[in-house]
Amino acid sequence: MLGQVITLLGPELGRSLQQALLPGVGATDALPLAAGSVLSKGVTGTTNLVQRLGIVSSHGLDPLDEARNCLEYGQVDKAQCLLEAATLQAPEREALHRELLDIYRHTRDSDALVAMRRHIGALSVPVEDAWRETKRYLQACMNLNSSVR
């Protein structure tokens, strides 16, 4: 078969195929690339056609959706951890901040709020006023608790 098409292949490809056929061609043997060849793998470059942007959790959900699912099942600590990690990765997402601040309010966890604000540091926070308001709320709750005792 090679003898019938060797003139069509060109001298270099023809010689390469003749030399490869003498001992036999294995399934994993490298052959020179030929345009349109059925012997080539047909891929040059990458097969990664889709690149996801943004944050996606290990389960393929948006962290905000996953945190809300956790809250539905009473997994407040897990939701808080998810939102804290996501907020650090995407500090521009206002919804992440608001959901996290709601958790801090409901759990009255001023220590976590202060620690998270410290981690965020000088990053541009889209809801700076909401952070200050939540901090004031938690301080008022602490003052109320200490005055009741």
Alpha carbon distance 18, 24 (integer Å): 10
Walk me through the domains of the chain, giving residue ranges and CATH numbers: 63-148 (1.25.40)
pLDDT tens track for 2-33: 777 777 877 788 888 778 777 766 666 665 56
pLDDT tens track for 43-100: 555 555 555 555 555 566 899 999 999 999 999 999 999 999 999 988 899 999 999 9
Nearest Cα to Cα of residue 87 among 71, 64, 109: 64
Burial class (CB in 10 A: 0-12, 13-18, 19+), 57: middle
Measured N-to-C along each axis, helices 110-120 and 94-107 cross at an angle, to the nearest 10 degrees, of 150
Nearest Cα to Cα of residue 103 among 81, 126, 129, 73: 81
Dmax over Cα atoms in the chain, in whole Å?
A: 100
Torsional sign, CA 82, 87, 89, 92 = positive
Q: What are phi and psi of 6, to 5 degrees?
A: -60, -30
pLDDT score of 17: 76
How crowded is residue 132: how many other Cβ atoms within 10 Å of its Cβ? 11
Q: What is the pTM of this model?
A: 0.58
Alpha carbon distance 23, 5 (integer Å): 20
Alpha carbon distance 25, 20 (integer Å): 6
* Confidence category of residue 123, pLDDT binned at 50, 70, 90: confident
Q: What angle do CA 46, 49, 55 make, to 5 degrees?
A: 115
* DSSP E strand boundaries for 69-126: none
Chain CA centroid to CA 138, Å: 33
